[in-house]
Amino acid sequence: MIKNRLKELRKSHGYTLDDIENITGIKRGTYSNYENGKTEPKLFVLQHLALFYGVSVPYLQGIEISDKDIVKGFNSCWLDKSNSFSEDSPHTQIDIYLTVYDIDERPVVKNEDDCTDENIKFWKKYFSFVFEKVKEESKSHVFSYQPKKIKSIIINSIVDKLNYLNKSPLGKSFDLVKEELSKLNQNIEDAIRDKNKSYILKNIDEEILILKKFREKI
């Protein structure tokens, strides 16, 4: 959301509302209203602020999710030892995941906004699948920038990963089969649209082969 972005950017740059007025010409009261969500800046104002902060307009609008947004979500999870999201706290879920994968390293997080190079590197190194999931959902316009939503996706992704590890070998094989079939079905849809008969048949044959191999495992 715009109000969150503007407040975060102003604070991260160390600007006061008076500084904003002196530098950009936007009245402190007007900018304050933007931050509080009482009013929204018009497009030309967003363009001006995007240039000022060195970001894109979609970023200000909350449509574009950055790595730092996700890192802040991870930081929030690591500091959260309550059990509001699931049976175990977000902190515990992350700790369990790291333990299961024999990762001894742990992040050093001072606060939610602690986006040091070390923290960014840590979270991206061990949880790249979460970064992909958050960006995938944001690009499909499932949500705009919302810290609580990002935090929820992080926890759900980790829990899903842990649940997958606890599945039987057959269950894991079936998940892989579903993933492969999903890709082939998309290929078939594309081929039908393009009226490519040979490609349709090729993908159907591949689906049959995958199902036969899975049948042999049962």
Helical H runs in the chain? 2-12, 17-24, 28-36, 43-53, 57-61, 67-79, 90-100, 117-126, 128-139, 147-165, 169-194, 197-217
Q: For every one of its 218 residues, what pLDDT tens digit does the chain have, with 9 covering 90 and above?
A: 677 789 888 988 999 999 999 999 999 999 999 999 899 999 999 999 999 999 888 888 877 788 888 999 999 999 998 865 556 789 999 999 999 888 999 999 999 989 899 999 999 999 999 999 988 887 766 566 678 888 999 999 999 888 877 777 777 787 788 888 888 888 898 889 888 999 999 999 998 998 888 888 77
